[in-house]
Amino acid sequence: MKSKRFARILAVILAVLMAFSLIYSAIASLTAKAVATQAEIDRLREEKREYERRKQEIQSRINTIEFERMTEVAKKQVLDDRIMLTGMEIDNINETIDYYITLIGEKEIEVAIAQNRENAQLQLFRTRVRDMEENGVITYLEILFDSTSFSDMLARLDFISDIMRADESIYNNLIEARNATEAARDALEATKLELEEERVEKQQKQEELEEQLEQANELIDTIEATLETENALYLETYAEAQRIQAEINAKVEELRREEERRAAAAAAAAAASANRVQGTGVLRWPVPSSGRDMITSGFGTRLHPVYYVYRFHSGIDIGAYHGADIVAADRGTVITSDYNSSYGNYVVISHGNGMTTLYAHMSSRRVSVNQVVERGQVIGLVGSTGVSTGPHLHFEVSIGGQRVDPQRYL
């Protein structure tokens, strides 16, 4: 009977140890995921260091006499570069925060698994102690004296060794499980602290961005403070807009010829049709977070509110918060993704049938040339780069190489 009771205890111990092996497997799997997440965080930190280095270079340039001698438009471009890098730092921090949130979720699971393992080990330890208290301590000599033969005694010696190892294993596993739980909790708290540090840094970068935007806006205000400089800026911007339109027309024609070459090489008309990227011809609103009531400037000739001179506005301006999503108004092919002193960061999409859309003053661009974009796909973020005061989207529509009022197609 005594041997049977010890056999049952040993069976329970072995069953628990097998359960622990499954828990170890779960912890190993989570650890592998955590390593991958930490690797992404390390990569983002390296990117952040690079952004900071580039910003320091720009700031050093701003502090030079050369910067003071630049034209106001050239100065604005340098300030735009700094603003773009700050925006990229904020994007970097947001991505890092997302990874930290994922990592914390994984570590919380690790803590729960470690705690369950500790609880199970503690329960096993208590069961063993309670059994010894209730039934009395069976001496190893008593087990040996009950042997019926020499071979039976050898078997009982092996059984005694198993019991001793099992008791020692129960105690050691309990200590190990308790240490693992504490280590998992410490790692979780450390990760939470790192997450909070990232959030504090994000707030600091947001404040830094606001200061940089204000400085850039003040520069444009200075340019527009007198009729002479404002007129020079307008002429420069208008000339740049004409150049960009000519460039758009050339790229649209190039794209059309390329499509014709593909169509000619296709074995059938259906194959040729599949090569063309055509939009619907009906455009969706390009800034989802802003409505039509946020149009701050319409299309066409308008009277300057201060100098009472007429100016032509080639698109519409849609007010929005800095960093708001800008989406493709229709399906098409990106033919330009660039920066210039007038439009700042801008993207042009060809929608087929001679229609193109232009999106200007972006804080950052999210698409590249020759990329096919779908209707509603994010192509950039609202900003105030180029000749712009305050965050907004300058949106243009061209048909057959001529700018038209975008509101007719939205």
End residue of a domain, out of 222, 238, 259: 222
Alpha carbon distance 136, 19 (integer Å): 28
> Which of residues 194, 222, 250 is at a domain's end?
222
**Full domain range(s) for residue 322:** 224-408
The CATH code of the domain that includes 34 is 1.20.1050
pLDDT above 80: residue 365: yes
Indicate if 33 and 118 belong to the same structural domain. yes
Which pLDDT tens digit goes with each residue over 84-98? 999 899 999 999 998
For residues 266 and 180, state if they share a domain. no
Question: Which CATH number is 247's domain given?
Answer: 2.70.70.10
In this structure, are 10 and 140 located in the same domain?
Answer: yes
**Residue 292 phi, psi (nearest 5):** -65, -25
Q: Are residues 78 and 128 in the same domain?
A: yes
Are residues 234 and 382 located together in one domain of the fold? yes
Q: State which of 222, 246, 278 marks the end of a domain.
A: 222
Least confident piece of the model among 116-120, 212-216, 232-236, 402-406: 232-236
Q: What angle, 0 to 180 degrees and rounded to 10, lies between the N-to-C axes of helices 72-135 and 227-265?
A: 70
Q: What is the mean pLDDT of the chain?
A: 78
Q: How many structural domains are present in the chain?
A: 2
Long-range contacts of 174-183 (CB under 8 A, 24+ apart): 174/118, 174/121, 174/122, 174/124, 174/125, 177/114, 177/117, 177/118, 177/121, 177/122, 178/118, 180/114, 180/117, 180/118, 181/111, 181/114, 181/115, 181/117, 181/118, 183/114
Residues 386 and 247 in one domain: yes
Rounded to whole angstroms, the Cα distance separating 158 from 145 reads 15
Nearest-angstrom CA–CA distance, 271 and 276:
9
Distance from C-alpha of 343 to C-alpha of 388, rounded to nearest angstrom: 8
Q: Kindly state whether residues 218 and 230 are assigned to the same domain.
A: no
User: Do 186 and 231 have their domain in common?
Assistant: no
If one counts every other C-beta atom within 10 angstroms of the C-beta of residue 292, the result is 10
Q: Do 296 and 168 share a structural domain?
A: no
To the nearest 10°, the Cα dihedral for 34, 37, 42, 44?
A: -160
191 and 103 part of one domain:
yes
Q: Is the pLDDT of residue 333 over 50?
A: yes
Q: Give pLDDT, residue 278.
A: 76
Q: What average pLDDT does this structure show over 52-71? A: 85
Token output for 322? 């800095």
Query: What does the DSSP assignment read for 329-359?
Result: SSSEEEEEEEEETTTEEEEEEEEETTEEEEE
Q: Are residues 133 and 13 in the same domain?
A: yes
CA 387, 393, 394, 396 torsion: positive or negative?
positive
pLDDT in tens, 292-327: 889 998 998 876 554 455 678 889 999 999 999 999
**Are 259 and 399 in the same domain?**
yes
